Amino acid sequence: SRFYTLTDHPTGLPKRELFSLESQELPDLDEGEVRIRNHWLSVDPYMRGRMSGVHTYVAPFQLGKPMEGGAIGEVIASNHPNLKVGDKVSHMGGWRDIAQLPGDSVTALPDHNVPDQAYLGVLGMPGMTAWTGLNLIAECKPGDNVLVSAASGAVGSLVVQLAKAKGCHVVGIAGAAHKLAWLESLGVEPVSYRDRSAQELSDAIKLASPNGIDVYFENVGGICLEAALSQLNEGARIAVCGMIDGYNAETPAPGPSNLSQLVARKAKMQGFIVADHWASYGYFLNEVAPQVADGKLDYKETIKEGLESTPDAFLALFEGGNTGKMLVKLSD
């Protein structure tokens, strides 16, 4: 098995050299274990938090030990009564080519007539995050004016489409021109944050959403949050999903200067962690999977090839190198 380890805890944007590709001979399968050949690996912004060596809501990566992450593969050996060779599974033994895990910790892929890797993106953790944040946290309802940051990413691109499907007016913030064009094709008002001050971004949001903002789905922080706060309507709800703008910060960024808008607008701001809502994953799949299979919900993937590309795929998340879900594809 070949796998990545972390050689040290990064400060700032992790350096490429901190990721070390190692190999080991796997032991014989224990009772209940399975061996899986990974076909797809997920890289996600939350992994930056696991690199810091501090326990937040998920345990930090152990230096020198195999890193972990979402992955999809095929069982190649099994000592588990419910899993057989050839079964397609999703599991957390990513950042490696062959995973050996307790069978109880892996999940057989559901059958919704979508490509396997969709269960790492639009129908996996990021999709479930979009659905949870929009419906359960922001309590988005038809007619709301919705603003989404990192709107062309894995989470954001589903948020904007779920909100459109509810009959909302939707504004999406993104970087590159091709991302803005994709958002526009989805019926979203695209707004670029590049080379803009918080005031300029606020003005652009106002133009795109003249009736203010009722729901803000926060993925970024920084000037996006400050601009969003300045456009809130009374009773607005902010679902704080993530704040990627600060994940590599060496010193904490100051909070938005206009946080008091929450008072004036009687707005609510609530963070959430998708894992706490996993009991609703079945509802999410039943609602969203048929729409993905029918092509009613669009999704994109940015695919890097080969295990060796995993660190670069991860690092590219912080430079906007992905449209939709960032994935690593492993050769057979």
We find the least distance from the C-beta atom of residue 192 to ligand NDP, in angstroms, to be 8
Q: Check residue 221 and give left, alpha or beta (phi > 0: left; psi -120 to 50: alpha).
A: left
We find the least distance from the C-beta atom of residue 205 to ligand NDP, in angstroms, to be 14
What tokens does 130 get? 């979009």
Q: For ligand NDP, which is the closer residue by CB, 61 or 103?
A: 61
What tokens does 307 get? 């295990």
Instruction: Supply the DSSP symbol for 136.
Output: I
Rounded distance, CA 297 to CA 274, Å? 21
Q: Check residue 150 and give left, alpha or beta (phi > 0: left; psi -120 to 50: alpha).
A: left
Residue type, 216: Y
We find the least distance from the C-beta atom of residue 156 to ligand NDP, in angstroms, to be 5
Helix segments in 99-175, DSSP class H: 125-131, 154-165
Q: For ligand NDP, which is the closer residue by CB, 87 or 218?
A: 218
We find the least distance from the C-beta atom of residue 240 to ligand NDP, in angstroms, to be 8
Q: For ligand NDP, which is the closer residue by CB, 18 or 273?
A: 273
Q: For ligand NDP, which is the closer residue by CB, 37 or 268?
A: 268
Q: For ligand NDP, which is the closer residue by CB, 80 or 179?
A: 179
Q: What angle do CA 15, 96, 331 make, to 5 degrees?
A: 105
Q: For ligand NDP, which is the closer residue by CB, 106 or 317?
A: 317
Cβ burial of 67 (10 Å; 0-12, 13-18, 19+) is: buried
Rounded distance, CA 265 to CA 260, Å? 9
We find the least distance from the C-beta atom of residue 13 to ligand NDP, in angstroms, to be 10
Backbone angles phi, psi at 143, to 5 degrees: 90, -10
* Residues near ligand NDP, by CB under 6 A: 44-46, 126, 129, 150, 152-156, 174-176, 179, 193, 219-220, 222, 241-242, 244-245, 272-274, 317-318, 320, 322, 326
Q: For ligand NDP, which is the closer residue by CB, 169 or 277?
A: 277
For 109-121, b/e burial (b = at least 16 CB within 10 A) is bbeeebeebbbbb
* SS3 state at 193: coil
CA-wise closest residue to 322 among 59, 85, 137, 126: 126
We find the least distance from the C-beta atom of residue 179 to ligand NDP, in angstroms, to be 6
Residue closest to ligand NDP (Cβ): 153
We find the least distance from the C-beta atom of residue 63 to ligand NDP, in angstroms, to be 22
